[in-house]
Structure 1
Amino acid sequence: MADEPMTQTDAIVRLKELVEDIDFTMLTTQDPAGNLVSRPMSTRQMDENGDIWFFTAEDTKKVDEVEADHDVGLSYLDAKGMRFVSVAGRARLVHDRAKMEELYTSSLDIWFEDGLETPGIALLMVTPVECEFWEPKHGKLVMAAGMLKALVTKDTPDDTMRHERISC
């Protein structure tokens, strides 16, 4: 019997778990020459509205690129867990002191020497439009066994990965 697809609500809940658990993402923007440019970002939160939050400095190329073209991509990868997330979204710079106080932790002091008093500190908020994720349906060991079996039998591997696409 084939696995039933997840409901939209369950898929969104799982997406939030993956985004917050994997933490680091590659944020992709478009530079003035039209090139796609990616850089690592640490996810602070995916809130109840589905918005994904990051800290940034205002005077960065990524902020300039987001202000010129709000369309961005986020790519999350957990190679050991075989979990992957892709988010197409719209980004904007946010100056909300209460939200910054909620999300700031001392681990960010590496980038923001004066904490929340660092000149130019801001939040980058990404509102997802389309999201996809892939993860093992039955755990890594079952997936690995299925792939090994396919390798030995020269057969196509069983459908061992769950793949969900969500319009957010």
Structure 2
Amino acid sequence: MTELTGNEARTRAKELVEDIDITMLTTRDDSGNLVSRPMSTRRMDENGDIWFFTAEHTKKVDEAEADDEVGLSYCDPKAMRYVSVAGRAGVVHDDALMRELYSPSLEVWFEDGLDTPGITLLRVTPVEVEFWEPGQNRLAQAAGMLKALVTRDTPDDDIVRHAKISY
């Protein structure tokens, strides 16, 4: 496994988060159960904060306000790319940032666009981000796996790229 560190790891984490887009946001409900729902990522900024649009009066917002520790799980199984984020969530009211991050595709959920009553931003500030992805193209990766099967040896170290980033 190839370990990425420093700016290279942070840059790659940002690329993966923004490219995979849909994540499962996990909060804790009133009974202490973990509850997940899909969210569309708007951006991961230079500080590592990950931004989403949401309606202010929802269970996910209530849960995040009651316990701000949340998880994000990004999964792209076809490309074998995965990102896990442990972070803290908060609601942010910032009209300028909302105009910057908004796109017409959000009108599926927000019928009146930015004029939708209660529309707001949810920010997840990472505490730790971890990702895994192929370290080679698919053909080289398949050849490496086949070689490992035939030789009964472990795959080459560069078959998977990995990073664990603390913020």
In the alignment, which residue of structure 2 is the partner of 1:99?
97
1:12 matched to 2:49? no
In the alignment, which residue of structure 2 is the partner of 1:124?
122
Note the residue ranges of structure 2 that are not aligned, 5 or more in a row: none
Match of 1:60 among 58, 79, 84: 58
State how far apart, in whole Å, the 2-side matches of 1:78 and 1:141 are: 18
1:144: Cα distance to partner?
1.9
State how far apart, in whole Å, the 2-side matches of 1:18 and 1:64 are: 28
Give the residue type in structure 2 aligned to 1:164: A
Q: Do the aligned residues in 2 keep the contact of 1:56 with 1:121 (CA within 8 Å)?
A: yes
State how far apart, in whole Å, the 1-side matches of 2:145 and 2:70 are: 33
Asked which structure has the greater RCO (Cα within 8 Å, sep 6+), the reply is 2
Determine what percentage of the aligned residue pairs are the same residue: 71
1:165 matched to 2:164? yes
In the alignment, which residue of structure 2 is the partner of 1:139?
137
Give the residue type in structure 1 aligned to 2:165: I
1:10: Cα distance to partner?
1.0
State how far apart, in whole Å, the 1-side matches of 2:72 and 2:162 are: 17
In the alignment, which residue of structure 1 is the partner of 2:34?
36
1:88 matched to 2:90? no
> Structure 1 length normalisation: TM-score?
0.93
State how far apart, in whole Å, the 2-side matches of 1:60 and 1:166 are: 30
Note the residue ranges of structure 1 that are not aligned, 5 or more in a row: none
State how far apart, in whole Å, the 1-side matches of 2:4 and 2:132 are: 12
State how far apart, in whole Å, the 1-side matches of 2:156 and 2:8 are: 24
Q: Do the aligned residues in 1 keep the contact of 2:40 with 2:52 (CA within 8 Å)?
A: yes
**Which moved further from structure 2: 157-166 or 24-33?**
157-166
Give the residue type in structure 1 aligned to 2:129: C
1:108 matched to 2:110? no
State how far apart, in whole Å, the 1-side matches of 2:139 and 2:63 are: 42
In the alignment, which residue of structure 1 is the partner of 2:23?
25
Deviations 1:106-157 (A, max 9, x none): 0000000000000010100000010101011122222222222333444433
Q: Do the aligned residues in 1 keep the contact of 2:88 with 2:125 (CA within 8 Å)?
A: yes
State how far apart, in whole Å, the 2-side matches of 1:132 and 1:88 are: 9
> Structure 2 length normalisation: TM-score?
0.94
